[in-house]
Structure formats: C-alpha cells, structure tokens
Amino acid sequence: MRKSAKLITAASSVALLLGALAVVPGVASADEALAAQGKKIAENRKKGNCVACHDYKGAHLAGNIAPPLVAMKARFPDKAKLRAQIWDPTKNNPNTIMPPFGKHEILSEKEIDAVTEWVWSL
C-alpha cells in the first residue's frame, strides 16, 4: 500500500513536470493536475504573483489589497467569467490595480488556463 502511494505521487509529479495533462487513473484528475500547475504559476513572483494582493487558504505572507480568493465556484459559477477577470480585469473596472495578465501578455494563454483552474478550486 505504502509503495503504491509513493508510485502514485511520483507519477503525478512527473506528469506535472512534463506539463502533461494526461489522466493518471485513480490519481489526480486532469483538472487537479492543471490546478496544481496553476498554483505554481500564481505563486511565482515573476508570473502571477497573485499572493502579493490576494489572500487564500494556505497563502504565505499574502497582501491585503484585494478580496481573498475563497468560494470561487460559488462566486464564479461560469468559469469563463473567472478566466476573463484574470485575462483583463480592466474590463470590469478600468481603475483596478490588478494587472491584465492576458491582455498584457504577462501570462500565456495556457498559463491562464492553469491559473483559472487553480482559482476555481479555491
């Protein structure tokens, strides 16, 4: 049992390393793997750096400029709307301090997909 658990973690981290979205049966779903990838991007200072402004469960030294990221599925039943907020928050609020991650090419489209998946899981 122990052994297989180890194997499973190893498998999923390999999948992450490759950026592969393949479903490993019985382990993390593709969505979860994508979300895990998104979390890394979100916490990378040179990438999303969402934690500079947003708090969320498990965040380390978060800023307090922005609303905490919680219950996101309830607040954004439509995932596309959530993605749009990350891609270009100035659409909703031209004065927002939140950077337009897609519009200004701070993150790639793929990276935004991953971050969206992660935020949606919060």
Partner 1 sequence: MKKFLIAVSALTMLGGAAISSAQASPSEDLKQFRAYFFKKFPGVKLQDYANGIYALDATRRFEWEAMEEFPPYEDGVEVGKKLFNKYDLGSCFQKGGIGIKQYYPYWDKKTQKVRTLEQDIMACLKKKGVDTKKAKIGWKKGKLAAISAYMAYTSRGKPTSVTIDPSKASLNAYNKGKIFFYAKRGQLNMACADCHVYNAGMLIRGNLLSPALGHTTHFPVWRRKWAKKTAAKKGKSGPLDGFGTIHRRYGGCNKQVRAKPFKAQSETYRDLEYFHTYMSNGIKLNGPSVRQ
| Token reading at 50 | 């969402």
d(CA 71, CA 33): 20
With tokens 């927002």, the residue in question is 96
Interface residue with partner 1 among 53, 72, 76, 84 (CB under 8 A) is 53
Interface residue with partner 1 among 8, 16, 21, 106 (CB under 8 A) is 106
Minimum CB–partner distance for residue 37 and partner 1 (Å): 22
**Judged by CB, which is closer to ligand HEC: 23, or 59?**
59
**Does 84 help bind partner 1 (rule: CB under 8 A)?**
no
Size of the site for partner 1 (CB under 8 A): 18
Contact range with partner 1 by CB under 8 A, out of 2-10, 20-28, 58-66, 76-84: 58-66
Q: Which residues of 59-87 are buried (b: 16+ CB within 10 A; e: fewer)?
A: beebeeebeebeebeeebeeeeebbbbbb
